[in-house]
């Protein structure tokens, strides 16, 4: 017999009772990955890591870590349309999507990525989701290269996040869901994009590219094995346009 709070219990009764008790399991990285999405958490980790690198780089040259945009690393990786077009610094259209100006900029974008990215990753799967994210980032880069001021340096994941919102809106419309809440959120964010220091072109370019990527997925929904390849082709096309088509804004040299 096994001593109990009142009297005794037989070993068989104790074993049966313990079998119905659920033991608490500690949260692990695998659990977080299933909840939020492995790619979403990986993108957040990459953005945070790049911010730390630029903050340390800024401090190493005598600037405050909060002024990470003054670091040599940031200067070499941010999107500078004139540098991309005239100096053939092609990598800027990609690396700029993983840079942020200050901790507030980083925190706001990463919160949005966690909320909307995890939802889209659950719907699309990690490969399609990553392809939509990168295509959206390149869509913002194309808009900045074509129509932006060649002298202005731009950075941030905002274009990719707007692309996720665009893709989510297209998928919701296709499944006949209520999109009024999403449209309201987009309207508020587009209004905010008119504020000084925010790239409206990058946001709109990412939004359009994300919606286009979702449209490609819907067109190929009966051929899922072609979806990722089609999105990759879209990304390559956007990259080629951003690197080869000259800016439409006149630059006085």
In DSSP terms, 3 is beta-bridged to: 8
User: Does the active-site annotation cover 203?
Assistant: yes
User: Does the active-site annotation cover 85?
Assistant: no
- Burial profile 137-157: b = 16 or more Cβ within 10 angstroms, e = fewer: bbbbbbbbbbebebeebbbbb
Select which of 118, 158, 199, 242 is catalytic.
158
Select which of 57, 136, 203, 242 is catalytic.
203
User: Tokens for 130?
Assistant: 């990553």
Catalytically annotated residues: 158, 203
């Amino acid at each position: 017999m096994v001593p109990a709070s009142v009297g005794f219990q037989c070993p068989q009764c104790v074993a049966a009772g313990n079998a119905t008790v659920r033991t608490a399991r500690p949260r692990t990285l695998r659990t977080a990955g299933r909840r939020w999405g492995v790619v979403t958490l990986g993108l957040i980790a990459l953005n945070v890591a790049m911010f730390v690198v630029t903050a340390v780089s800024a401090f190493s040259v005598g600037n405050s870590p909060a002024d990470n945009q003054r670091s040599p690393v940031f200067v070499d990786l941010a999107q500078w349309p004139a540098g991309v077009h005239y100096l053939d610094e092609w990598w800027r259209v990609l690396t700029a999507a993983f840079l942020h100006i200050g901790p507030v900029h980083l925190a706001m974008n990463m919160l949005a990525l966690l909320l909307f990215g995890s939802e889209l990753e659950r719907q699309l799967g990690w490969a399609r989701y990553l392809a939509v994210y990168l295509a959206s980032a390149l869509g913002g880069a194309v808009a900045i290269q074509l129509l932006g001021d060649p002298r202005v340096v731009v950075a941030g994941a905002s274009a990719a996040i707007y692309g996720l919102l665009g893709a989510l809106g297209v998928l919701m419309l296709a499944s006949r869901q209520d999109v009024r809440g999403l449209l309201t959120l987009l309207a508020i964010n587009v209004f905010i994009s008119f504020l000084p220091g925010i790239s409206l072109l990058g946001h709109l370019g990412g939004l359009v590219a994300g919606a286009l990527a979702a449209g490609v997925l819907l067109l190929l929904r009966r051929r899922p094995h072609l979806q990722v390849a089609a999105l990759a082709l879209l990304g390559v096309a956007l990259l080629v346009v951003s690197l080869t088509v000259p800016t439409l804004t006149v630059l006085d040299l």
